Amino acid sequence: MDFYAINSLRENHAGWSLLRAQNAPLALAFFMAAFTGPNQRNLGRQQLVDVLDDVLFGLRDSEGQDRFPRGAGEYLDDWASDERKWLRKYYVPGEDEPRYDLSAAAEDVVRWVENLRGREFVATQSRLTSIFAVLKELVQQSETDPEVRLAELQRQRDGIEAEMQRIRDGNIRVMTGPEALDHLQQLTTLAKDLLSDFREVEQNFRKLDRQVREQIATWDGTQGELLQSIFDNQQDISSSLQGRTFQGFWDYLMSPQLRTELQDLLQRATHIEALANNSGLNAVANLQQDWLPAVEQTQATVRHLSQQMRRLLDDKVFLENKRVMHLIRSIESAALGIRDAPPSGAFMEIDAPSVDVVLPFERPLYEPSRKVLVVDAVENAEDTDLDAGALFTQFHVDKERLQANIDAVLAEASQATLAEITGNFPLTQGLAELVAYHQLASESDWATINPEQSQRLSWQLPDGTAREATIEQIIFGRPA
């Protein structure tokens, strides 16, 4: 960055303006008390007013009543204004109370101010280990020579076998207290950095959406070209670097196996003796609970942006239809104005109506209808040997039970495929139960049937034989 870029940030960046503000200590203390301290997002106005009133009461008691003369609501409106942009103010559909969230720039300033206090213990070994681990993965996963990759995997296997042999011999190396504290601090720092990144991810998505809105507002081409442009921009948002990396994180976090493994590791980390008296263990145990609301909020932002694009397109269509109707009304008004005194001579020319010529021999020949013979002879049931067992072997597929199976799986995950649901609750009624699942998916607003992907399901008949069926991929989502 050169002098001019830095000077532009100084004049225009919201974070820099926060540092230069006269009441910056008050704003930062409030942001820490309301947002970053308890790790909360998207708070209502009344809740923030109560928190800010408590902060102002304590400061006025020690600094004097004239130190901060404005009310809590006035401070919130000022910090959320377009000149400040320290808070993001918005409305949730169906609610009259505005909501507030900390902007990405303000959160960066809060984190920077917190780091100014210094740290009693600085993690160095864990950072070096992380650098080596990331560097090794980068180099190994980018290697195209199979011999080199096989040699590296062989070396890793030899190291693992040597470590297993040392453990069998009783030589178990346990991480020391300073090393455990080093890794805990590194883990906590990375977790906080990841949470702060979500606000910047939302801001990047909104920036991409704002560019699309500006293009729609200033569009002067045809409706088809506008629609094509909107679809292209929507694809750009999902396929951008920001969109792809966030989707990869979402897929990783939504994997039931990985979530179970992460939860098990977090629980085991809280029982390490070297960290028994460390206050940061509670934050480590709640990492997964902190990530999920933040990720779901970002996903909701992306869905909301898509809905806004559709609404803008509908507005364009409405305005276009309104313009067409205005032209029709003007033509009708002009025709009524000259009805009593029509102009002389020919004032309009239209093409003469044409007649489609059809040759007689192109018509098909007459074909008499065929008579169907119906045998109406009725035989007595007593004269034949009929197997009536099929009438008594009918069964009923309980859709409520299947829906309960889906809800039980979605209680642990935000979405699940039919293969995952049948893995937890195997098919007991064969193909009929599979058809019932397909019907539930087609009738639900929270299920998706992907014809481009397939999944294989299997079940076992009462006689012990196995059956398999390959169907389109069905994904059930947790209702919002």
Reported as a single tens digit per residue, the pLDDT across 277-289 is: 666 666 666 666 6
**Residue 267 — very low, low, confident or very high, per pLDDT cuts 50/70/90?**
confident
185 and 128 in contact (C-beta within 8 Å)?
no
**pLDDT at residue 75, as a whole number:** 92
Is the pLDDT at 314 greater than 70? The verdict is: yes
76, pLDDT greater than 90: yes
Average pLDDT (167-173) is 84
Better-scored residue on pLDDT, 160 or 256: 160
β partners of residue 100: 43, 89
Residue 249: predicted pLDDT? 65
| Range in 314-318, 362-366, 445-449 with the lowest mean pLDDT | 314-318
pLDDT at 87: 92
In this prediction, residues 224-246 reach a mean pLDDT of: 61
Q: Which structural domains are found in the chain, ordered by start?
A: 3-116 (1.10.10), 177-335 (no CATH), 399-477 (no CATH)
Kindly report the three-state secondary structure assignment for every residue of the chain: CCHHHHHHHHHHCHHHHHHHCCCHHHHHHHHHHHHHCCCCCCEEHHHHHHHHHHHHHHHHHHHCCCCCCCCHHHHHHHHCCCCCCCEEEECCCCCCCCEEEECHHHHHHHHHHHHHCCCCCCCCHHHHHHHHHHHHHHHHHCCCCHHHHHHHHHHHHHHHHHHHHHHHCCCCCCCCHHHHHHHHHHHHHHHHHHHHHHHHHHHHHHHHHHHHHHHHHCCCCCHHHHHHHHHHHHHHHHHCHHHHHHHHHHHHHHCHHHHHHHHHHHHHHCCCHHHCCCCCHHHHHCHHHHHHHHHHHHHHHHHHHHHHHHHHHHHHHHHHHHHHHHHHHHHHHHHHHCCCCCCCCCCCCCCCCCCCCCCHHHCCCCCCCCCCCCCCCCCCHHHCCCCHHHHHCCCCCCHHHHHHHHHHHHCCCCEEEHHHHHHHCCCCCCHHHHHHHHHHHHHCCCEEEEEEEEEEEEEECCCCCEEEEEEEEEEEECCC
Lowest mean pLDDT among 170-174, 310-314, 368-372, 431-435: 310-314
Q: Does the pLDDT at position 384 exceed 60?
A: no
Please check the confidence at residue 103 and state whether its pLDDT lies above 80: yes
For a pLDDT cut of 90, what percent of the chain falls above it? 8
In the prediction, which pLDDT does 77 show?
92
Predicted pLDDT of residue 377: 72
Residue-level pLDDT at 46: 92
- CB-based burial label for 463 (10 Å; 0-12, 13-18, 19+): exposed
Average pLDDT for 126-140: 70
pLDDT digits 0-9 by tens, 418-477:
989 998 898 888 888 888 898 898 888 888 888 888 888 888 887 778 888 888 999 998
Banded pLDDT at 4 (limits 50, 70, 90): confident
Q: What is the model's pLDDT at position 257?
A: 77
What is the pTM assigned to this prediction? 0.45
Task: Please name every residue paired with 474 in a beta bridge, in sequence order, or none if there are none.
Answer: 449
What percentage of the chain exceeds 70 in pLDDT?
Answer: 71
What pLDDT is stored for residue 48 in this prediction?
92
Average pLDDT over residues 268-297: 66
What mean pLDDT is predicted for residues 319-334?
86
Largest CA distance in the chain: 115
Checking if the pLDDT of 50 tops 80, the result is yes
Check residue 387 and give its pLDDT: 64
pLDDT at 379 over 70: no
pLDDT confidence of residue 235 = 59
Convert 37-50 to b/e letters by CB count within 10 Å (16 or more is b). Answer: eeeebbbebeebee
130 contacts 70 by C-beta, under 8 angstroms: no
Q: Is the pLDDT of residue 79 over 90?
A: yes
